[in-house]
Amino acid sequence: MISPAQPAASPQPLLSIRAITKSFGKLAVLRAISLHVDEGEFLTILGESGSGKTTLLRLIAGFERADSGEIWMAGERLDLLPPYRRRVNTVFQSYALFPHLTVRDNVAYGLRVRKVAANQVEKHVGEALAMVKMSTFAASKPAKISGGQQQRVALARALVNRPRLLLLDEPLSALDANLRRQMQLELKSLQREVGISFVFVTHDQEEAMVMSDRIALLRNGNLEQVATPREIYSRPATSYTAQFIGHTNLLRCRVEHGVARCNGLEFRTSAPDGPAVFSLRPEHIRTTAALNPSGETVRFRARVLTESFHGATDLLQVECADGLKLTVRVPSHSASPGQRDFEFSAADAIAVRDSEEKS
């Protein structure tokens, strides 16, 4: 399998979605979405509820038909095939295990309907159950096992078919926080182990950051940005992306002759003249002793309104003299209430496209 570390190096993507449009009645759910998934890649489709992420997944699986556009997989037109002819398997949000079949028969289902020889079925099912550590529950009915265990069975049931592509529709959303974190890591390592491409749908940005090779951020049926977690965090393309992925401060500025002005703050920028929005992450603002601006460092004085404890760091709400409110992340116990001086380097203020203005 191709290493998922360099997905862009793959000459031809495994799955390519070309200008897919889908409406339900008058409601446009997806607007000309184009996206590709590489061999062995873990791609997350991230978005709020109603963003169209589940619809996109259902289009790949074949449960919905697109109004226009095409989906190709491994050189074959995928969107014309019925779901049962696609080399794609799905892990459903509510697992959708067959209640009348045992765990073993659930996992064997895909192989049996394809008329795989009985001894082969037994072998593959045994391996799949061992892989998700569910061998001891083989004879149980789904109603008798916990949510986390059902999740594992659903995964085994899909993976035993050796799909080219595995689709996962918020598979962890029903689990409690601890189990969820554990499953995130397990799922990620499992994906590397089997080398199958995963398309993972979630509304949880942290989950997306932890697991993905690339994140496709969807908003109102449009792709906001597609990039690696690091890139999308450090170089958000739009103000929506900057706010959705992690915390940020949005600075609405006016740029004149290479200098951005936002209330009392002033810093040099390469952005063109006119109105501009900058994203400034809370951790890029530091407390400082000196107040004289020096080179590319912007300094300002602000009053600490509230502070909240977040383990290794504190999150401060601060207000400048001109009323500008900012969020600042500092090491724990490093700031006391009252007037403080802060600084950030101008390079950390990232110019982003204003999502509000876009129609």
Partner 1 sequence: MFSRTYKTAVTVPPLLWVALFLLGPYALLFCYSFWTVSPAQTIVHSWNLSNYRELLTVPVYFETLLRSMWIAARVMLFALLLGYPLAYFLSFHAGARKDLFYQLVIIPLWVSYLVRAYAWKTILGSDGVLNTLLQYLHLSKHPVEFLLYSPFAVVLTLTHIYTPFAFLPIYASLEHIPRNLVEASHDLGASPLQTFWRVILPLSIPGVLAGATFAFVLSLGDFLAPLLLGGPSGIMISNIVVSLFGAAYNWPLGAAISLCMLLLVVSLLFLSERLEKKWSFS
Binding residues for partner 1, rule: CB under 8 A, are: 61-63, 82-85, 88-90, 92, 94, 96-100, 109-110, 113-114, 141, 143, 157-158, 161
Q: Rounded to 10 degrees, what is the CA torsion of 51, 53, 56, 57?
A: -160
As measured in angstroms, the least distance from the Cβ of 171 to partner 1 is 13
Please tell me the distance from the alpha carbon of residue 218 to that of residue 226, in angstroms, as a whole number.
9
As measured in angstroms, the least distance from the Cβ of 92 to partner 1 is 5
As measured in angstroms, the least distance from the Cβ of 145 to partner 1 is 13
Is-contact 219 33, C-beta < 8 A? no
Give every CB contact of residue 169 below 8 A, 6+ residues apart in sequence.
54, 57, 90, 91, 92, 93, 201
Please tell me the distance from the alpha carbon of residue 244 to that of residue 48, in angstroms, as a whole number.
9
- Of the two residues 35 and 61, which places its CB atom closer to partner 1 in the complex? 61
- Of the two residues 142 and 221, which places its CB atom closer to partner 1 in the complex? 142
As measured in angstroms, the least distance from the Cβ of 277 to partner 1 is 41
Is-contact 187 160, C-beta < 8 A? no
- Of the two residues 198 and 233, which places its CB atom closer to partner 1 in the complex? 198
Give every CB contact of residue 332 below 8 A, 6+ residues apart in sequence.
309, 311, 312, 313, 314
As measured in angstroms, the least distance from the Cβ of 108 to partner 1 is 10
Q: Where does residue 304 rank: exposed (0-12), middle (13-18), buried (19+ CB within 10 A)?
A: buried
What Cα–Cα distance (Å) separates residue 69 from each residue in 16, 17, 43, 182? Answer: 11, 8, 20, 38
Comparing CA positions, the residue from 36, 91, 35 lying closest to residue 61 is: 91
As measured in angstroms, the least distance from the Cβ of 131 to partner 1 is 17
As measured in angstroms, the least distance from the Cβ of 89 to partner 1 is 6
What Cα–Cα distance (Å) separates residue 260 from each residue in 237, 265, 326, 349, 351? Answer: 18, 8, 17, 10, 10
- Of the two residues 153 and 280, which places its CB atom closer to partner 1 in the complex? 153
- Of the two residues 100 and 230, which places its CB atom closer to partner 1 in the complex? 100
Give every CB contact of residue 267 below 8 A, 6+ residues apart in sequence.
259, 260, 296, 298, 346, 349
- Of the two residues 99 and 274, which places its CB atom closer to partner 1 in the complex? 99
**Element holding 201 (H helix, E strand):** strand 197-202
The two three-digit tokens of residue 196, written as one number: 């199958």
- Of the two residues 91 and 271, which places its CB atom closer to partner 1 in the complex? 91
Please tell me the distance from the alpha carbon of residue 141 to that of residue 97, in angstroms, as a whole number.
9
- Of the two residues 72 and 92, which places its CB atom closer to partner 1 in the complex? 92
As measured in angstroms, the least distance from the Cβ of 62 to partner 1 is 7
Comparing CA positions, the residue from 299, 293, 298, 301 lying closest to residue 319 is: 301
- Of the two residues 63 and 309, which places its CB atom closer to partner 1 in the complex? 63
As measured in angstroms, the least distance from the Cβ of 300 to partner 1 is 54
Give every CB contact of residue 333 below 8 A, 6+ residues apart in sequence.
314
Is-contact 46 205, C-beta < 8 A? yes
